[in-house]
Homo-oligomer: A and B are copies of this chain.
Amino acid sequence: MRRVTAADNATATPEKTAEHVLDEAHKALAERSYYSRYPESPSPRVYGENAAAEGLSAYESLLGKKFEGLAGAFDGEWVGEEKSPYGPTLDVAYPHLDVKGAMDAAGAAMPSWRNAGPRRRAVVLVEALEQLNKRSFEIANAVQHTSGQPFVMAFQAGGPQAQDRGLEAVAAAYVEQARVPASVTWEKPGRGEPTRMQKDYHVVARGVGLVIGCNTFPTWNAYPGIFASLATGNPVVIKPHPSAVLPLAITVEVLQKVLRDNGFHPELVQLAPEAQGEGLAKVLAERPEVKIIDYTGGPSFGAWLEREGAARGQQVYTEKAGVNTVVVDSTDNVKAMLGNLAFSLSLYTGQMCTTPQNIYLPKAGIDTDEGHLSFEEFGTKLAGAIGGLTGDDAKAVEVLGATVNDDVRARAGSLDKIASDAGGSVVADSREVTHPKYPDAVVRTPGLIGVDVEASDAYTTEQFGPVTFLIGTDGTEQSLATFRDTVRQHGAMTAAVYSTDEGVLDQAREAAMDAGVALSENLLGQVFVNQTAAFSDYHGTGANPAANAAYADSAFVAGRFRVITTRRHV
């Protein structure tokens, strides 16, 4: 698949480019082949010599002032309490929505957007993604200083990879709508003349889409819902996490400009920032205009949204929490396996919804290319691999980032207690790392706790942050059974298996299908279990309690619009 080159872009209009990108994305999604529109490398060779500096400068110019210029219905208040996990206070104030006015503005913006049709909407949204891509460095700084991600990750996951997920949602939504023909002449044979009717099929939006953002991945977890709802004709209100507003404020600014430039109401996308503890998500969710909710966050509010949303006739897509799992049976490359796992656990201090938490392996140990490893030796070697990756503070922070909140920090500091409560022991404590540039950042390495499979109370709840359990089982059969049962009951976003035995791999696939979770097998190189690729890997499955939706299968888009038929005789 050929990417549009700079030369193409020089002569293409934004609309022509967007048309082309949409067609590429459409094809990639059908094949689930490799495709990325937005390069993930922050290299100057890709984004230009000055892009990094300009992005940083653009970010810094936003700090310490009001975020002006957004369209929407505001109540005159300004809110904003963002503090970087690296230390500095952002001190940005955002205009607070007048909820009733915002719903009215969204409703007024809807008909022309609906009537524009699926193709036009998709093209406009691709234009917005192209514009967002140009601000990737600015967004990267905003993501870094709200989520605590290390910079390169904030760039990749917060910028191009989020944009690719947005594009995927646009393509998926477009494809699903395009399958509905605009019109048909229906001829029913009869005794004499056939009965002929003209039937027109109108794709209509559901209503206002509410997107509730999270602290750790403010753009990556919000873009699929934002773009899927917009692409299907729904206006969107975005309620960011109060600690991670800025990345979505920039996003709304870009979307509003592109919508306005294309003749649509900018109020199709409105930002709903709130004060800490205000509870605005609940207020918005209870509005009768809201028909779709996309949520990333804690399980108890997520469950409330699912239950009450269904009662209100809302389509609710949630990503909550789970216990991600690795089953280790055997390997022919123990070094690569441990390196891969160490990176998975270390990246962003285990604060990804996809980071493994539970590693099952036989108490009797595993066979490897370096001979048999006991359970204890496996733990020691994994701790060593983590140490190798994170031993140097200056390099470590580029992998670990910073801890996002006090909850994670408290957990990182209490491994002893977690271990003793579970009747286990600390295999590797979570080490305090000093950030060379941000002394106030709380940076921690991943901690490992060894427990027996009986200690299920400990490992069947999500321990968000740098806590991983090494769980000793009676053998791989029990590892797989426990994997299946715990994921069915408690959910998971990811799973992995290491084995040299094709029979075990087959059993692991069966267990993954039963559990309803995607499975990565024998990852040894530069692909990690916590990463999914847009257009090819689904993020989540919707088949276990961790999430009721996946980015982006057809179920993620099919319920966001309805078809209204009008029919008459011809």
Stretch at the interface among A184-192, A210-218, A238-246, A348-356: A184-192
Confirm or deny: A69 has a beta carbon within 8 angstroms of a beta carbon on chain B: no
Shortest distance from the beta carbon of A228 to any chain B beta carbon, whole Å: 13
**What residues of B have a CB within 8 angstroms of the CB of A199 in the complex?**
32, 536-537
Confirm or deny: A526 has a beta carbon within 8 angstroms of a beta carbon on chain B: yes
Query: Which of A309, A564, A567 is the most central at the interface, judged by chain B CB atoms within 10 Å of its CB?
Result: A564
Confirm or deny: A533 has a beta carbon within 8 angstroms of a beta carbon on chain B: yes
Given the complex of chains A and B, what is the CA–CA distance between A548 and B310 in angstroms?
10
Confirm or deny: A455 has a beta carbon within 8 angstroms of a beta carbon on chain B: no
From the candidates B309, B313, B536, B558, name the one contacting A184 in the complex (CB within 8 A): B536
Interface string of A537-570 (1 = CB under 8 A from B): 1100111010010100111001100111111110
Given the complex of chains A and B, what is the CA–CA distance between A568 and B356 in angstroms?
17
Interface of A is mostly: mixed
Q: How many residues in A have their beta carbons less than 8 Å from beta carbons of B?
A: 69
Confirm or deny: A230 has a beta carbon within 8 angstroms of a beta carbon on chain B: no
Confirm or deny: A364 has a beta carbon within 8 angstroms of a beta carbon on chain B: no
Given the complex of chains A and B, what is the CA–CA distance between A206 and B533 in angstroms?
24
Stretch at the interface among A258-266, A268-276, A460-468, A511-519: A511-519
Interface string of A186-209 (1 = CB under 8 A from B): 111100000101010110101000
Stretch at the interface among A74-82, A300-308, A396-404, A420-428: A300-308
Interface string of A162-187 (1 = CB under 8 A from B): 00000000000000100111001011
Flag if A32 contacts B516 (CB, 8 Å).
Answer: no
Shortest distance from the beta carbon of A452 to any chain B beta carbon, whole Å: 27
Flag if A188 contacts B538 (CB, 8 Å).
Answer: no
Given the complex of chains A and B, what is the CA–CA distance between A306 and B311 in angstroms?
6
From the candidates B176, B180, B543, name the one contacting A562 in the complex (CB within 8 A): B543
**What residues of B have a CB within 8 angstroms of the CB of A309 in the complex?**
310
Confirm or deny: A135 has a beta carbon within 8 angstroms of a beta carbon on chain B: no
**What residues of B have a CB within 8 angstroms of the CB of A558 in the complex?**
553-555, 558-559
Confirm or deny: A53 has a beta carbon within 8 angstroms of a beta carbon on chain B: no
Confirm or deny: A521 has a beta carbon within 8 angstroms of a beta carbon on chain B: yes
Flag if A525 contacts B195 (CB, 8 Å).
Answer: yes
Q: How many identical chains are in the complex? A: 2
A36 closest partner in B (C-beta): B188
Confirm or deny: A444 has a beta carbon within 8 angstroms of a beta carbon on chain B: no
Given the complex of chains A and B, what is the CA–CA distance between A513 and B523 in angstroms?
50
Flag if A513 contacts B550 (CB, 8 Å).
Answer: no
A residues 25-80 in Cβ contact with B at 8 Å:
30-34
A residues 295-325 in Cβ contact with B at 8 Å:
303, 306-311, 313, 316
Flag if B33 contacts A184 (CB, 8 Å).
Answer: yes
Flag if A176 contacts B533 (CB, 8 Å).
Answer: no
Given the complex of chains A and B, what is the CA–CA distance between A521 and B202 in angstroms?
15
Confirm or deny: A147 has a beta carbon within 8 angstroms of a beta carbon on chain B: no
A202-B513 CB under 8 A given contacts A31-B181, A184-B33? yes
Flag if A555 contacts B559 (CB, 8 Å).
Answer: yes
From the candidates B32, B114, B517, name the one contacting A201 in the complex (CB within 8 A): B32
Flag if B311 contacts A567 (CB, 8 Å).
Answer: no
Flag if B206 contacts A543 (CB, 8 Å).
Answer: yes
Flag if B564 contacts A513 (CB, 8 Å).
Answer: yes
Flag if A550 contacts B536 (CB, 8 Å).
Answer: no
The 5 closest A-B pairs by CB, nearest first: A310-B310, A543-B562, A521-B568, A307-B311, A555-B558
| 23 contacts across the A-B interface (CB closer than 8 A) | A114-B513, A195-B527, A202-B509, A206-B543, A309-B310, A310-B310, A310-B316, A313-B545, A518-B566, A519-B564, A519-B566, A520-B567, A520-B568, A521-B566, A525-B569, A537-B565, A538-B563, A538-B565, A542-B562, A543-B562, A543-B564, A550-B562, A555-B555
